[in-house]
Structure 1
Amino acid sequence: MKKNVWKFGLLSGLALAIPMGFAVPLEHHIGARWSMVFGYTIMVLSFLIIFVGVKHYRDTECGGSITFGRALATGTLMMLISCACYVAMWEVLVATVEKNFAHDYAIGMVRHAQKSGLQGAALDAKISEAHNFEVMYSNPLYRMSMTLLEPLPVDIVMALVTAGILRRKPTTGLQSTASPEPLTN
């Protein structure tokens, strides 16, 4: 199982991380909304590799049958590897092309608050929240956990759907290969 989990988990991770590596630098040109649509579409498509991986595991290593729990566990392990690749790619991007991400995001939070009409203490609270976000995001553990939360909901849904579709009980009726006995009168 280990080999299968790593193989399909890494394939899914590559299918998730490589397009992300190209798309994130282009986000400023295509806009945040389209970037998000593209990102979640890539997540779903890359997680379909997990479906293939669980099916392969069921058919080759489990003799064609697998319980819901085992399919869920196998798919979840594969998806966690894929999500780790996603987090690793984001860390590379933050260290290179997205160095000012936290600062730019905090500025966006403040501008959004100002456009929405916040004033006085409410605006000051939003400015403080934006500053706190920027400080916390500089902590790699916080940043990685926040990044992991992006694909995780899609991961959980896809793992449940995969397990539900691919579960298959073992065939219980063993048929004899011997020829039937002739009827006697």
Structure 2
Amino acid sequence: MRHNILKYGVIAGLVVAAGMWGTLLAFRGDMPHGWLGMALGYLSMLVALSAVFVGIKHHRDVDRGGVVGFWPAFGLGLGISAIAAIFYVFAWELAQATVVGDFAGHYATAAIAQAKADGADAAALARLTAQMESFRLQYADPLFRLPMTFAEIFPVGVLVSLVSAAVLRNPRGLSARG
């Protein structure tokens, strides 16, 4: 089981890191903000975390003779998701150190510009500016940034693990061809 966690976790991690870097290269080092950035980010996460489903199915069909319980399958999925999330964190840290630069500053500027475009009053802009400055300072601290980055992808992995374990605990669900 550990071998499957490592193997499929590394596959998922490399795919999600490639998705992140592909987005960075497509947007010339600037991460898209708003709905486009979220859509691209979560789409690449879901594609990468399909390795959770494949890993659980492989474990069930090859290692367990076609039968796996919900909890062992869920645990396998969580392990794969954790490895993928660690790769995601390292990929983001590398991206920040090389091409992204001051992500928090760019994010804050974009949020304030969007609020202005939406017609926010001076008091709301002042509050948002203070919040964004606080965020920028917090984001500079790795003890804040690293867990926050991990928390972007890991809940998606938990959800994919839950669904995969629920589907694949049934031996007739996508059974191996014999």
Aligned structure 1 segments of 4 or more residues deviating by more than 6 angstroms = none
Alignment of 1:58-97 (within 5 A): 58-97=60-99
Judge conservation of contact 1:66–1:167 (CA < 8 Å) in 2. Answer: yes
1:100 aligned partner: 102
Q: 1:34 to 1:126 in 2, by over 3 A?
A: closer
Judge conservation of contact 1:24–1:35 (CA < 8 Å) in 2. Answer: no
Judge conservation of contact 2:9–2:81 (CA < 8 Å) in 1. Answer: yes
Which structure 2 segments of 5+ residues have no match? Answer: 172-178
Please say which structure displays the higher CA radius of gyration: 1
Mapped partners of 2:143, 2:11: distance in 1: 25
Alignment of 1:1-185 (within 5 A): 1-27=1-27, 31-32=32-33, 33-168=35-170
- Of 83-92 and 20-29, deviating more is 20-29
Under a length normalisation based on structure 1, what TM-score does the superposition of the two structures give?
A: 0.83
**Residues 105-164 of structure 1: per-residue CA shift (max 9 Å, x gap):** 111122222223333333211110010010000011211122122223321221111001
Q: Aligned AA for 2:145? A: R
Q: 1:19 to 1:122 in 2, by over 3 A?
A: closer
Q: Aligned AA for 2:138? A: M
1:176 aligned partner: none
Judge conservation of contact 1:59–1:65 (CA < 8 Å) in 2. Answer: yes
**Residues 65-112 of structure 1: per-residue CA shift (max 9 Å, x gap):** 111111111111111101111111000001111112111111112222
Measure how far apart 1:58 and its partner are.
Answer: 1.4
Matched residue SS, 2:67 = coil
Identity %: 33
Q: Name the one with the larger helix percent.
A: 2
Under a length normalisation based on structure 2, what TM-score does the superposition of the two structures give?
A: 0.86
Q: 1:115 to 1:34 in 2, by over 3 A?
A: closer
**Residues 7-29 of structure 1: per-residue CA shift (max 9 Å, x gap):** 11111111111121121243368
How many residues are treated as equivalent by the alignment?
169
Mapped partners of 1:39, 1:120: distance in 2: 32
Q: Aligned AA for 1:82? A: A
Q: 1:101 to 1:15 in 2, by over 3 A?
A: same
Judge conservation of contact 2:24–2:31 (CA < 8 Å) in 1. Answer: no
Q: Aligned AA for 2:84? A: S
**Residues 32-58 of structure 1: per-residue CA shift (max 9 Å, x gap):** 444432322221111111211111111
RMSD of equivalent CA atoms: 2.0
